[in-house]
Amino acid sequence: KSAHRRGRTTRRRLGIIRRLAVFLELQGCPAYQPPRPPKTSDIHSTARIFSRDEIRRILNAADCLAPRCSSLRHLVMPELFRVLYGCGLRVGEVVRLTVADVDLVAGILRIRQGKFRKDRLVPMAPKLQERLKTYAVALGSRGPEEPFFPSPRCGFYQTQSIYRVFRELLHRAGIAHSGRNQGPRLHEIRHSFAVHRHEQWYRAGEDLSVKLPILATYMGHSSMAGTQWYLRLTQAIFADLAIRLDRTFGHVIPKEIRP
């Protein structure tokens, strides 16, 4: 078990081992069947994709955060959430950005030791680059290893703190939340980025079979399998894409298995 493997992945692999053991027994070979993993809800089956209007409302809510005494939250959060959505980053990658990691001249974010301990370079859209330049000027001169998005104590934000702000923004934006672990989830901003990108490429007539590996690299996936999930989400939300995506990627899009 690797340090980054989630419990859901372990349970899935354990299920594969059980099926192999059953197959071996059917062939007359004695095999040990590990205990059946407990049933859990799969986050993928309930992934929430924000509409573009909902994303706009969330960002507008962040823009309206009031200043607080000895806090830069009203300056930090509008840009932090724009980086989350605009670059499709994981929240842990955003909060760990240092001043040196954000190249405001070239418009590139350097992600150090992301998931699977991988480094990567993430280009920004020009409008986001200009916003971050204005933000950096507002915060003043800082050392290269200081947090680009400083917490009230001038350290790095914890992901739980960002989640609490996310809940507040949902409320301000008029987006219902069903409770912890029920969604919408903060990570689904990243899901929304990927699905919206698929849609935009499709509308522009781009070859999705060429673009998909680019998106996988951009988002820091360890393999194409990590990006295939977004194809299924795209199919589910944009019905007119289903035929084209199934024709091109039907052999790789994970199929939903119903009991």
Say if residues 125 and 75 touch (Cβ distance below 8 Å).
no
Say if residues 111 and 89 touch (Cβ distance below 8 Å).
yes
User: What is the spatial distance between Cα 193 and Cα 184, in angstroms, rounded to a whole number?
Assistant: 14
Q: Establish whether 221 is a catalytic residue.
A: yes
Q: Establish whether 187 is a catalytic residue.
A: yes
Structure tokens at 48: 């929430």
**203 sits in which H/E element:** helix 188-203
Q: Of 57, 73, 196, 221, which residue is the catalytic one?
A: 221
Q: How many Cα atoms within 13 Å fall on the side-chain side of residue 239?
A: 0
Q: Of 57, 190, 197, 198, which residue is the catalytic one?
A: 190
User: What is the spatial distance between Cα 62 and Cα 56, in angstroms, rounded to a whole number?
Assistant: 10
Q: Of 110, 142, 187, 211, which residue is the catalytic one?
A: 187
The answer for residues whose C-beta is within 8 angstroms of residue 34's C-beta and 6 or more apart is 14, 17, 18, 21
Q: How many Cα atoms within 13 Å fall on the side-chain side of residue 176?
A: 2
Q: Of 90, 185, 196, 197, which residue is the catalytic one?
A: 90
User: What is the spatial distance between Cα 18 and Cα 12, in angstroms, rounded to a whole number?
Assistant: 10
Q: Which 3-state string (H, E, C) describes 205-249? A: CCCHHHHHHHHHHHHCCCCCHHHHHHHHHHHHHCHHHHHHHHHHH
Q: Of 8, 48, 74, 115, which residue is the catalytic one?
A: 115
Q: Establish whether 190 is a catalytic residue.
A: yes
- For residue 111, list its beta bridge partners: 120
Q: Of 57, 73, 230, 232, which residue is the catalytic one?
A: 230
Residue (of 14, 154, 8) closest to 72 by Cα position: 154
Q: Establish whether 230 is a catalytic residue.
A: yes
| Alpha helix stretches (DSSP H) within 27-125 | 52-63, 73-87, 91-95
| Catalytic residue list | 90, 115, 187, 190, 221, 230
